[in-house]
């Protein structure tokens, strides 16, 4: 019982603050006097706390961390060759063998992609998209759904089983806006570290940064069900809370509480995407609106497109659908290069 109390004390920020003071500090003395019954536990806890000052202060640098990982990875890629040379002490392997390890690593990757039928059952068809840039990064999923990954985010899914085993599953860390194609036979799950969102077909935002203490899911259209469960096991419908448009769920990771809030007024930088009724408007205006609404960057020649006009109505189409319809309308084409949308056209001079 002693030990449990000491651990609780070590997690108590008030205790830690006073315990780090000197023995004759009035605040520390005062604290002791306020808890006379627990004095010896307090003293012990303080000692444990101070003992941590004697812990090693060595930290692993990001470079070394990466280097060790590369050695692990190259060794794994090489495991079929039964080579002993990679199992010896790491430090003795640096030098020319370091180069060899890098080369094997790259070759290993190429072999990895072959998927020969007699290969060991290492299902690595996981696709991971990472956004390390400064703009929103567009990712299309195998079912036609699309995601806009915010900077510093990444998303993973298994390209082999996505949509095939009765569900569509992605793992998200960071923030993304999803536009999910309706498919009631294959519910769409977004797994994050503290919460799972399940959708049938809708558009919504999930915010789940590793460094933050809460996770948010905000619904744009359709409906989303959220649950604090995070496993990829079968989730029963009773575990979920349903969210409707303009509602937001906030999961507090510290106490594991899930709360629902209404989003009354969309904030300026979270423009909602309503129905698009485009009646003979300039394409450049429409593209500007898309850029603003989706917070993305579209690259195109203002000069070439300045005379282009378009009439269209968009209700449930996601970003990519909207873009391809616009392009069809003006005889242009678009592609996504490193997350930026590029429109190519020869102009609209009839």
Partner 1 sequence: MELKSAKSDYEFALWARFKSGDKQAFSEIYTTYADLLYNYGFHISSRVDLIEDAIQDLFIVLWQSKENLSNTTSIKYYLFRSFRRNIVKLLKKEELLVTHQDVSLLANAQHTLSAEMQIIEDEYEETQTRELNRALSSLTPRQLEAIRLHYYEGFELDRVASIMDMNEQSVRNILHRAFHKLRQIMLFLLLLHLFLQK
Q: Give residues in contact with partner 1 (CB under 8 A).
A: 3, 6-7, 10, 22-24, 29, 32, 39-40, 43-44, 46-48, 50-56, 58-60, 64-65, 68-69, 71-72, 75-76, 79, 87, 89-91, 121-124, 126, 128, 156, 191, 193-194, 228-233, 253-256
Query: H/E element holding 16?
Result: helix 13-19
Specify the DSSP class assigned to residue 333. Answer: E
User: In angstroms, what is the minimal distance from the CB of 34 to partner 1?
Assistant: 13
Comparison of 64 and 164: residue with beta carbon closer to partner 1: 64
Comparison of 29 and 304: residue with beta carbon closer to partner 1: 29
**Which among 215, 197, 211 has a CA at the least distance from the CA of 147?**
197
Q: Looking up tokens 């242009």, which residue turns up?
A: 332
Report whether 217 contacts 248 (CB < 8 A).
yes
* Strand-strand pairing, 276-282 and 168-179: unpaired
User: In angstroms, what is the minimal distance from the CB of 257 to partner 1?
Assistant: 8
Comparison of 230 and 324: residue with beta carbon closer to partner 1: 230
User: In angstroms, what is the minimal distance from the CB of 175 to partner 1?
Assistant: 18
Strands (E), 180-324: 188-191, 196-199, 203-208, 214-221, 224-227, 241-243, 247-252, 257-262, 276-282, 298-299, 309-314
User: In angstroms, what is the minimal distance from the CB of 195 to partner 1?
Assistant: 8
Comparison of 182 and 256: residue with beta carbon closer to partner 1: 256
User: In angstroms, what is the minimal distance from the CB of 166 to partner 1?
Assistant: 17
Q: CA 180 to CA 172: how far, in whole Å? A: 15
Q: CA 256 to CA 228: how far, in whole Å? A: 8
Give backbone dihedrals phi and psi of 99, rounded to 5 degrees, phi first. -65, -45
User: In angstroms, what is the minimal distance from the CB of 17 to partner 1?
Assistant: 14
Comparison of 40 and 279: residue with beta carbon closer to partner 1: 40
User: In angstroms, what is the minimal distance from the CB of 182 to partner 1?
Assistant: 27
Comparison of 153 and 221: residue with beta carbon closer to partner 1: 153
Q: CA 190 to CA 173: how far, in whole Å? A: 10
Comparison of 191 and 314: residue with beta carbon closer to partner 1: 191
Comparison of 76 and 99: residue with beta carbon closer to partner 1: 76
User: In angstroms, what is the minimal distance from the CB of 204 to partner 1?
Assistant: 21
Give backbone dihedrals phi and psi of 123, rounded to 5 degrees, phi first. -70, 95
Specify the DSSP class assigned to residue 22. Answer: -
Report whether 240 contacts 258 (CB < 8 A).
no
Query: 23-57: buried (b, 16+ CB within 10 Å) or exposed (e) per residue?
Result: eeeeebeebbeeeeeeeebbebbbeebeeeeeeee
Q: CA 110 to CA 108: how far, in whole Å? A: 5
């Amino acid at each position: 019982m002693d030990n449990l109390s000491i651990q609780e004390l070590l997690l108590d920020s008030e205790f830690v603050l006073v315990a780090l003071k000197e023995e004759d500090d009035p605040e520390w003395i005062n604290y002791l006097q306020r808890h006379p019954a627990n004095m010896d536990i307090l003293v012990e806890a303080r000692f444990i706390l101070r003992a941590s000052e004697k812990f090693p202060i060595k930290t692993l640098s990001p470079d070394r961390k990466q280097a060790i990982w590369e050695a692990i990875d190259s060794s794994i890629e090489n495991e079929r060759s039964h080579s002993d040379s990679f199992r010896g002490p790491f430090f003795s392997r640096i030098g020319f063998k370091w180069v060899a390890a890098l080369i094997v690593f790259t070759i290993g990757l190429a072999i990895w992609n072959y998927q020969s039928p007699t290969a060991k059952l290492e299902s690595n068809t996981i696709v991971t998209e990472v956004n390390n840039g400064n703009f929103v990064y567009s990712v299309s999923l195998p079912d036609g759904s699309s995601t806009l990954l915010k900077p510093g985010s990444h998303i993973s899914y298994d390209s082999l089983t996505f949509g095939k085993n009765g569900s569509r599953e992605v793992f998200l860390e960071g923030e993304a806006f999803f536009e999910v194609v309706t498919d009631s036979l294959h519910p769409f799950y977004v797994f994050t570290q503290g919460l799972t969102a399940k959708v049938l077909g809708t558009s919504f935002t999930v915010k789940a940064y590793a460094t933050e203490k809460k996770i948010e899911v905000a619904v744009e259209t359709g409906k989303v069900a959220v649950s604090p469960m995070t496993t990829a096991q079968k989730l029963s419908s009773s575990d979920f809370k349903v969210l409707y448009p303009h509602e937001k769920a906030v999961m507090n990771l510290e106490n594991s509480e899930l709360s629902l809030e209404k989003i009354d007024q969309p904030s300026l930088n979270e423009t909602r995407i309503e129905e698009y009724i485009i009646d003979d408007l300039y394409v450049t205006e429409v593209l500007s609106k898309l850029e603003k609404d989706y917070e993305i960057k579209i690259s195109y020649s203002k000069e070439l497109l300045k005379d282009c006009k378009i009439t269209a109505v968009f209700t449930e189409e996601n970003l990519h659908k909207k873009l391809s319809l616009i392009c069809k309308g003006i005889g242009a084409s678009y592609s996504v290069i490193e997350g930026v949308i590029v429109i190519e056209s020869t102009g609209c001079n009839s």
